[in-house]
Amino acid sequence: MLEVLRAVPGIHLDADEYLADFWPYFNNLQEAFVKLERRQEFREPDDPSWRALASGDWQEAVRLIDERRDEIQAPVRETSGFAMRRLRIVEKPYTSYLRWELYYIRLRAEASEDIRVLDAGRIRHLERSDPLPEIVILDSEVMYEVLYDDMGDHEGARKILDSAAIRIARQELDDLYAQAMRLESFLASDPASLPPTVQGVAKGS
């Protein structure tokens, strides 16, 4: 299902429509928020730390993330009654964006988001023609294929309500998730996945 998800009918939403549609579902979650991240490059021009990264200033990018620790962790700490699971696909050589993101989301992992990492080689059998899409699943109610342009800017999403497609995709993601390594262990095992200006942060600082 994951490899043919783009062929499943869906409702196209622009970026603003996606956020307006997403939050009512999220605010009524009962079971799980599940996210698959496949792309190795995104653009996040609204984030000061990302802008520092884009200018080549790793030290400032890291400083700004550390400064926002409480802000980054708050949304995770404030959730209750459902699981938050993220599967991050990684491939070498690691992009600067990926190293920046892993440093960022490690704070969410410290706050109890269950983030796991899987090498892209483990999903090659699912990517015969195209990379897997970016996916968000909320309970068994709705699934979004989150859309980006070639530069990595967010363009919106396709909203999918086909219950069979959601159920199968969720099971396939659960299977991949079970094969993946916890983010904390991954960062500790491969320091090259972290920004070049930091060391020994896998368990927090």
Alpha helix positions (H), 78-162? 96-110
Is position 203 within any domain? no
Is position 204 within any domain? no
Q: What is the pLDDT of residue 3?
A: 81
Residues spanned by the domain of 118: 2-193
Is position 121 within any domain? yes
Only one residue has tokens 């859309």, namely 147
Only one residue has tokens 């659960």, namely 174
Tokens of 15: 């970026």
Which phi and psi (to 5°) does residue 119 adopt? -65, 140
The CA distance from 102 to 98, in Å, is 6
CB-CB contact of 154 with 146 (8 Å): yes
Structural domain count, the chain: 1
Per-residue pLDDT tens digits for 176-196: 999 999 999 999 999 999 999
Which phi and psi (to 5°) does residue 64 adopt? -70, -35
pTM, entire model? 0.93
Per-residue pLDDT tens digits for 103-150: 999 999 999 999 999 999 999 999 988 999 999 999 989 999 999 999
